[in-house]
Amino acid sequence: MNPILLIAVPLLAALFAVAFKKIGRVLLGMAAVFNFAAALMITIWYVEPQVIVIGGFRPPFGVSLVLDGYSLTGVLLLNAIFALIMLMSFRHTSKLAAVLSITLAALNGMVLTGDLFNLFVFMEIGAIAAYIITTANRDLRHTFNYLIVGSLGSGLFLFGVILLYTLFGTLNMGDMQSKMAASPAPMQQALILPLVLLFAGLAVETKLIPFGGWVRGVLKDANPLTGSLIVSAYAFAALLVFGRIFGEMFVLSGALLTAFTIVAAATLVLAEASAFSRRTLRETLLYSSIAQSGLVVLLFLNHMALPAVLVLISNVVSKLILFTVSGQLAEACGTDETDRLQGAFFRYPLLGVGFTIAALSLIGIPLFFGFSAKLNALSALFGQGNWILPAVILLMGVVEGVYYIRILSALWHAGQEGETSAKDKLAQFPPVRQAVTGIVGLVIALLIVSAGIVTLSSFGTSGANDFITLIRQSLGGM
Amino acid sequence: MIQYFSIVLLLIGIYGLLTQKHTIRLVAALNIFEIGLNVFIISVGYVRGGIAPILTSQANTSALLYVDPLPQALVLTSIVIGVGITALALALARRMYKTYGTYNLDEMEGK
């Protein structure tokens, strides 16, 4: 199956969703299911990395797609995440069917493309869709702020791409990489400005401090659809793009690596501190999400693609269920203050099981996938002889553990007699919605546990350098 | 020379984005930034004395001095995206005006 269908089919669905509004949501659902099934089939039949030529223009002269273990991991999980978001937040999609179909096409394009300008185009299409999706929030000022910051970031990214074109005469990522390897030392110096511009451009979507200032406004009151899309699907695609550029194309060293590492480490530390100090669920989760982005960027910059991808998968899969449940609790109870949601999971444990396992996985409790991911990252850093970054990551892991345990103990604790508790308000929570979210959360929780056990069993013995190979080796070794 | 001009436009745009609080002025600053970027992209493909990269009966050999056609194709896409962003930003500014009765972001804070 040609991977171009992962982009073309949702685009076609968007076109028809505009023309036939009444069946827009059906078309969106069909596109989401098709993409997940297609990504699964592509994964099953995947043999070796390949370049998909479009329009008969052989690379580097035309735009091409790259299907390797990295992008395959991306499209498989991205389409699975998107389908699950649609399943859990379907009722919020009524006016957004066309936009969400375009989002699906753009995110797949970002992960698959092998051309820098084409990447810019997909990023812009995805960004415009994201601006429209965030208008579902009450306050449009935050969307406007996001639009301005996002457009400035995209402009800087494009500026960097054009500077790279002037240096190498190509926009094809693979061709540029080979020309760069053969380039003399002065050319390496000339790369500094374009790389800084690319980093600044990507830092907006990857939510690095100070470029991620838009996140709080957009996500603190986000509905389940907006929240889970931005912190899960968008973050996944943006960080995979970051890894493709800064983990594979450009191997950084010297002052530039130090500067970017400081930005990523500062993001991790400041965002974890902010998450710790918050008392509302969604604000805590959004800062936790920013911190995890900082960690993933840190790993990519330090040439650890596999640990970075594992941490990224652990984060986005867990955040998907955490944000959806938080958004739905906020809708049902009218607040997402942790203290006022006391006993919410006591009232409906099915919601709580998925939430709890996702949170425990993020903390890094053994046997969950988050543990394997963090262990992989820490041992890779220790293997490099690096002691400072693992110490920072471990310390922040403790901070993360404290606030997640605080949230879990509040939500599971029914409260004393006579105290205000969420457990009565939850009676207004429609049972069907509870069941759908609860069951999907349970399935995700089972995947987190099984992936944790499977990947841990081959930990240290696997020579895999991408997630798909790791899983195949792990399953083969069982 | 034209590249210096584009850099000046880029800087004016960034200055506007950092200092303005009026939503329409912010959109204008974003447009100035984008125009600076587009002029820069066009300037990258410019060749002094170059001819259009179209094969004709007179210009039928690759030995002739052609301008680079790729930046022209790129800038067309960039312009289209810029127009889309501007339209969306103006629509948002208008809706915010209907809600708050002002285009100024600072004045919206108190309402």
Report the C-alpha gap between A211 and A45 in whole angstroms: 40
Q: pLDDT tens, A130-155?
A: 999 999 877 899 999 999 999 999 99
Q: What is the pLDDT of residue A420?
A: 53
For the ranges A88-92, A274-278, B28-32, the lowest mean pLDDT is seen at: A88-92
Q: What is the pLDDT of residue A478?
A: 44
* CA–CA min distance A165, chain B (Å): 9
Measure CA B44 to chain center: 15
- Determine, for residues A131 and B88 on separate chains, whether the beta-carbon distance falls below 8 Å: yes
- Determine, for residues B85 and A166 on separate chains, whether the beta-carbon distance falls below 8 Å: no
- Determine, for residues B92 and A128 on separate chains, whether the beta-carbon distance falls below 8 Å: no
* CA–CA min distance A19, chain B (Å): 20
- The Cβ of residue B66 has, within 10 Å, a number of other Cβ atoms equal to 16
A112 within 8 A of A71, measured Cβ to Cβ: yes
In the predicted structure, residue A272 carries a pLDDT above the cut 90: yes
Mutate to test the interface with A, among B70, B76, B100, B103 (most CBs of A within 10 A): B70
Q: Is B72 on the interface with A (CB under 8 A)?
A: no
Residues of chain B positioned with their CB less than 8 A from the CB of A166: 44
- The Cβ of residue B83 has, within 10 Å, a number of other Cβ atoms equal to 12
The whole-number average pLDDT for the span A392-403 is 92
Residues of chain B positioned with their CB less than 8 A from the CB of A151: 30, 34, 85, 89
Query: Cα A386–A313–A142 angle (5° rounding)?
Result: 100
Of residues A475 and A407, the one with the higher pLDDT is A407
Q: For residue A210, give both structure tokens.
A: 């100070």
Q: Predicted confidence band at B27 (pLDDT cuts at 50, 70, 90)?
A: very high
- The Cβ of residue A73 has, within 10 Å, a number of other Cβ atoms equal to 25
Domain annotation for chain B: domains and CATH numbers: 2-48+69-109 (1.10.287)
Is residue A80 left, alpha or beta, with left meaning phi > 0 and alpha meaning psi from -120 to 50? alpha
A43 within 8 A of A475, measured Cβ to Cβ: no
Of residues B61 and A170, the one with the higher pLDDT is A170
- The Cβ of residue A346 has, within 10 Å, a number of other Cβ atoms equal to 17
Q: What is the mean pLDDT of chain A?
A: 88
- Determine, for residues B88 and A144 on separate chains, whether the beta-carbon distance falls below 8 Å: no
In the predicted structure, residue A352 carries a pLDDT above the cut 80: yes
In the predicted structure, residue A406 carries a pLDDT above the cut 50: yes
Q: What is the pLDDT of residue B1?
A: 79
Maximum Cα–Cα distance across chain A: 75
Mutate to test the interface with B, among A147, A149, A151 (most CBs of B within 10 A): A151
Q: B22-61 b/e with 16+ CB inside 10 Å = b?
A: bbebbbbbbbbbbbbbbbbbbbbbeeeeeeebeeeeeeee
Q: Residue A50, SS3?
A: strand
Size of interface A-B (CB pairs under 8 A): 64
In the predicted structure, residue A263 carries a pLDDT above the cut 60: yes
In the predicted structure, residue A458 carries a pLDDT above the cut 70: no
Residues 6+ apart with CB under 8 A from A145: A213, A214, A217
Could you give the residue ranges of the DSSP H alpha helices within A229-304? 235-242, 254-277, 281-301
- Determine, for residues A152 and B71 on separate chains, whether the beta-carbon distance falls below 8 Å: no
Mutate to test the interface with B, among A158, A193, A218 (most CBs of B within 10 A): A158
- Determine, for residues B41 and A141 on separate chains, whether the beta-carbon distance falls below 8 Å: no
Q: For residue A391, give both structure tokens.
A: 């110490």
Q: Which of A337, A323, A339, A313 is nearest to A286 (CA)?
A: A323
For helices A388-412 and A254-277, the axis angle rounded to 10 degrees is: 20
Give burial (CB, 10 Å; 0-12/13-18/19+) of B111: exposed
Give burial (CB, 10 Å; 0-12/13-18/19+) of B12: middle
The whole-number average pLDDT for the span A182-210 is 88
Residues of chain B positioned with their CB less than 8 A from the CB of A124: 81, 85
Q: Residue A245 to residues A85, A237, B30, B35, B47: CA-CA distances in angstroms?
A: 27, 12, 26, 26, 30
Pick A117's closest partner by Cβ from B40, B74, B105: B74
Counting residues of chain A whose pLDDT is more than 70, the rounded percentage is 94
Q: Predicted confidence band at A221 (pLDDT cuts at 50, 70, 90)?
A: confident
